[in-house]
Amino acid sequence: MWADSVWLPAIWITDPRAHWEAVDDETAILFVPYGDEEQQFMVRFDPGTGMLLFMEAMRYRDSDEKAQKILWITESLDGGTVTVDGAAIPAMGSATWVDQGKPWAIFTVEDIVYNVDGSEYIRQTGL
């Protein structure tokens, strides 16, 4: 969920459980809650635009007792941007388990609308 937040980045600064530590001018570590612990994401930004380039973390892909953490990377892809309230947000992204060598998912956003009353939609679709 925290990596998906590239499309709702305010959560990274409004959630008191999330905090940042600068590494250099283009890199920071994002600390987020993970159960009773914290998980760390290495986050890199484009030095020219300030936009997020990618996030990486050691994560569990499997849930069995022998599961081990694997490097997982989410990357902003060259698919343009979506403008929300005057801010440009990447329109495409991917998620890759490094041991698999290629993205297992590619996401495309066409529009983002925040703080919408979805009750009518839920009644219509039965969600």
Per-residue pLDDT tens for 17-49? Answer: 999 999 999 999 999 988 899 999 999 999 998
Distances (CA, A) of 114 to 8, 9, 72, 118: 8, 11, 27, 10
Q: Average of pLDDT values for 87-111?
A: 90
Q: Are 69 and 57 in contact (CB under 8 A)?
A: no
pTM for this predicted structure: 0.79
Q: Where are the alpha helices (DSSP H) in the chain?
A: 11-14, 119-125
pLDDT at 51 over 70: yes
Question: Which residues neighbour 49 within 8 Å (Cβ) at sequence distance 6 or greater?
Answer: 88
* Number of Cβ atoms within 10 Å of the Cβ of 3: 20
The phi, psi pair for 121, rounded to 5°, reads -60, -45
